[in-house]
Chain A
Amino acid sequence: MRLWTLFGLRAGMATTTWPSGEGSDGQEGVLGMPRYRPELCREGCAQCADICPTRAITIGDDAGAGLPLEIDYGRCVVCQLCTEACPTGALTPSADWAFGVRRREDLVWQREAAAPEPDAGISGAFRRSLHIRHVDAGSCNGCESELQALNNPFYNLHRLGIFFTASPRFADLLLVTGPVTHAMAAPLRAAWEAMPEPRWVMATGTCAVSGGVAGGGYASGHGLDGVVPVDLYLPGCPPNPAAMIEALLMFLGRMPQRVVGGRFGE
C-alpha cells in the first residue's frame, strides 16, 4: 500500500483561485462563439449561412432590423466553419465562451437589448448552496466529459458551494444535456416532476438549447423548450468547465451575465 495521502499532500494545491482570485480559468486557447461585426458584411454574400450546419446563421428577411444576418448563438456548435468561410472578417474566431444567459432571446444577435433584471433568477437562500441533478437526454458525451471535469482538483466545484446530487428529490437545479431523444423525454420529465419546488432547469450545451447537430429526424427532439421550462441557457459544443461555472454563478447572482442581445461583454 502506497502512501497516497502523503503523496496528495506533497503535491500541494492544484485548484485554481479563479474566479475570485488571480488564478487561471484554464481555458487558454479555447475558441468560443464567432464574433459578429455586421458593418463588415458584404451585400449579397451568404457564405457563412450556406456552410452553417445548424442554421445558426440565416440571411435576414427582417428589413426593419436592418441586419444582413440573423445569428442565433443558441444554435451555434462552435465549429468555426463560418469564420473560415467569411471573406470580410465580419465573423471572426473569439474566446467568447462564457455564454450563459437567463433569457433565450439574449442568445440572438440584436443591435440593442436591455440588460436583464438583476437577481431575477433565484432567491437568496440558494446563493451559496446549490444542488444539481444532471440528466443526459441524448448527448454525445462531450458535455458529460466537461461536467465530470468540474469535480477534478483544478476546478473543484465543491469549493463554490455547488454539488451534484443523486436524487432529484434533493436537487434545486436540473442540468440537462442532449437534444432530448424521444426515448429520454419521459424519464427526463419524471425527474423534473420528482423535484421539490422551487426548482430550476439549465439547458447545457447547444443540443439542450436548440437540438444542435442531432436535432430533428426520427429519434431526436430540438432541445428542452416545450419539454420542461428552462431558466438558464448555456450553449457551447461542449461548454467548457469554466463556462459552466460562470453560468451557475451568474444564475446565483454571484457573477454578471456577460451576454446580452447576443453581444458578449459590451
Chain B
Amino acid sequence: MIGAGEMALLRPQELPDACAGALAEGWRMQLAYAWWPDPKSLELRYLLSRAALHAFAVWRCRPVGPVPSLAPICPLLGWYEREIADLFGVEFVGHPEPHRLVLREGAQPVLPPFDPDYPPDLAVPVDQTRRFIPEIAGAVADVQELPFGPIRADVTESAEFLFYYIGEAILHYQPRLFFKHRGMEKRFEGLLPGTAVVLAERVSGVGSLAHALAYCQAVEAASGCTVPPRAQSLRVLLAELERLYNHLHYLGHLAHTTTLKVGEAEGKLIEERTKQLNARLTGSRLLRSMLIPGGLRRDLAPQGWLGDALDLLRPQIEAYCRRLAGTDSHLDRLITTGVLDRETAFDQGATGPIERASGLDRDLRRDHPYAAYGAVEVAVPVREAGDAHARFEVRIAEIFVSLDLIRQVLQRLPDGPVRRECLPQPGAEGLGWSESPRGALFYAVHLDGAARLARVKIKSPSFSNWRVFPSTVHGTNMMDYAINEASFGLTIAGCDR
C-alpha cells in the first residue's frame, strides 16, 4: 500500500500466530478494516506500526468464511472486529465481546450495509428496545443502574452512559456510543477525490483540519504527487492552530468540571480569540475549505500579523496556565483521578495526549513525519502518572510546543506555489495520517476503475480513546466522573462517524 511499508498476504488461520509474533517483536496494531476489491471477494487489512521512523506494515487477508478473532491476543482490535462484523458481515470466531458496536443492538439489516448488493439509501432499522447489558450485580445486592443519555445536560454530543453503582461507588460503567453513526465512510464512495475533502472536513468538526490533512495525504500517496514546500509549511501552521484552539477549549472545559468559573471563562475566551484568528487567516473558524489533494486551495498571507497576534496571546496563555497549575482546588480534583496505567494504555490502543500522559512516547509528527514536520523540531511532552493531572499537564505543554512550531514555520515560510495537480490512477490506493489534537488519525483510500473513491476507512483518535476510557471509570466514584471524562477530551462525532 502506497504510504505504508511492506504488505504481506496472510491466510486467516495464520493470523493469530503472526499477531502474537508481531506483538512480541514490539509492533503495535494501529487499525483493521475491510473492503471489497471486487464485488465477489472481501479483503481484510491490518495496519501495524513499530518504533519511530520505522515504516508501517500492512497485512492483507482474503477470508472465505469465519476468521479467527485477534482480540484475545490484541485487545485494541476488539472494536475494529466488531465494526467489521456489523458493517461487512464477517464472523470473528472467539471474539470476547461478540455484540453489535456500530449498529444498534437488535438491528437486523437485510444485508450488511457495506455489502456490494446493499440497496443505496436503504435505512438500517433501529430497534431501541434491545440492548446488551453485562451481568454486573451477581450476588451483590442494592446495585442501581443509572442510564444517562443519549440526550444529556448542557450542549453536549449524544451518547448514552450506563452506570452501575452503590451510593457514590461506580461498580461498572458502560458507554453506549454510535447513536451518531452517520455512515460517513460510505458517503465517500463514488465521489471524486478532490471533492470528497469536503466530507473529510465534516467527519469531526473540531478536527476538520487534521481529517482533511490525513485524507489529502492518503490521496497524494495514491497518486504519487508531491506537495509544494510552501503548502507543506502552511499545512503545519494550520494543524498547529487547530491544536491550539482545541487544547485551550480543553483547559476551559476541565476548569468547568472542577467548578473553577473564572478559569473556565478565561480558557474559553482565549479559545475564542484563536478561533477569530483562524477566521481572519482562512475564512473559517474551524479551518475548513483550505486543503485539497496536491496542496492548498488558495495561498495564505500570515506574514506580518499572525505572529504578532500570537505573540500577544502567548503571555496571556502562560499566565492562565500558571494560574491553573497553581490552584490547589483544581489540582486536588485532578491528581490520582482516572488513572490509566501504561500497559492498559498500550494494549487497549490509547492515543495522543492520553497515551503520552501514561508514559508512551509516541507522536506521528515526530515518528512518521508528514507535511513539513520533518524539517522542524517537534518536542513531545510525556508524563508517567496516567491520571487526569498528567493529561492536563501534557496538553498544557503541547500548547507551547504548538506556539513554537508556528513561530518556526512563520520564520522560514518558503515562497512559491501552493498547489500541484493530484490525480490518482484508477485502482490506486494510499494511506495518510496526521497527529490530530486528540491523537493518531489514519485514512486509507482505495480508488475504483474510474479513479473515483471505492472505499475510505477513517480511524479517528476518539475511536481509540473511547475504547480505553471505561477502564479508568470502573471502581471509581461518581463525583470524579465528569472531571475524568473532561480530562480525556473525547469527541463522539469522530468516534461514531
| A contact residues vs B (CB 8 Å cutoff) | 1-2, 4-5, 7-8, 11, 14, 26-31, 51, 53, 77-81, 84, 93, 134-149, 151-155, 164, 166, 178-179, 181-188, 191, 212-214, 216-220, 237-238, 240
Contacts and interface: CB of A to CB of B under 8 A. Distances in A.
B195 A140 contact: no
Contact of B492 (A30, A141, A155, A237): A141
A137 B158 contact: yes
11 contacts: A7-B323, A8-B262, A30-B285, A84-B297, A148-B268, A153-B269, A155-B272, A213-B199, A217-B183, A218-B109, A218-B118
Interface string B172-209: 00000011111110110001000110110111111010
Interface string B265-286: 1101101110110011111111
Contacts of A30: 279, 283-285
Contacts of A184: 150, 158, 179-180
A29 B327 contact: no
B329 interface: yes
Is chain A's binding surface mostly helix, strand, loop or mixed?
A: loop
Given A81-B195, A153-B265, A144 B276 contact: no
A53 B158 contact: no
Interface pairs A-B: 9 shortest CB-CB = A142-B205, A219-B183, A31-B283, A152-B268, A141-B493, A4-B262, A8-B262, A166-B153, A218-B113
A51 B289 CA distance: 14
Given A140-B493, A142-B202, A185-B126, A152 B195 contact: no
A191 B120 CA distance: 30
Given A14-B269, A53-B199, 8 more contacts: A78-B288, A136-B156, A138-B179, A140-B204, A152-B268, A183-B104, A213-B202, A238-B205
Interface residues of B, number: 78
Given A149-B272, A166-B154, A8 B266 contact: yes
Interface in B284-336: 284-286, 288-289, 297-298, 323, 326-329
Nearest to A136: B158
A152 B206 contact: no
A144 B151 CA distance: 13
A4 B263 contact: yes
Nearest to B297: A84
Contacts of A185: 126
A214 B182 contact: yes
Q: Which of A1, A212, A218, A240 has the most CB of B within 10 A?
A: A218
A219 B187 CA distance: 10
Contact of A93 (B150, B275, B283): B283
A142 B206 contact: yes
A140 B198 CA distance: 12
B123 interface: yes
A154 B252 CA distance: 14
B188 to A, nearest CB: 10
Contacts of A142: 202, 205-206, 208, 286
Contacts of B10: none
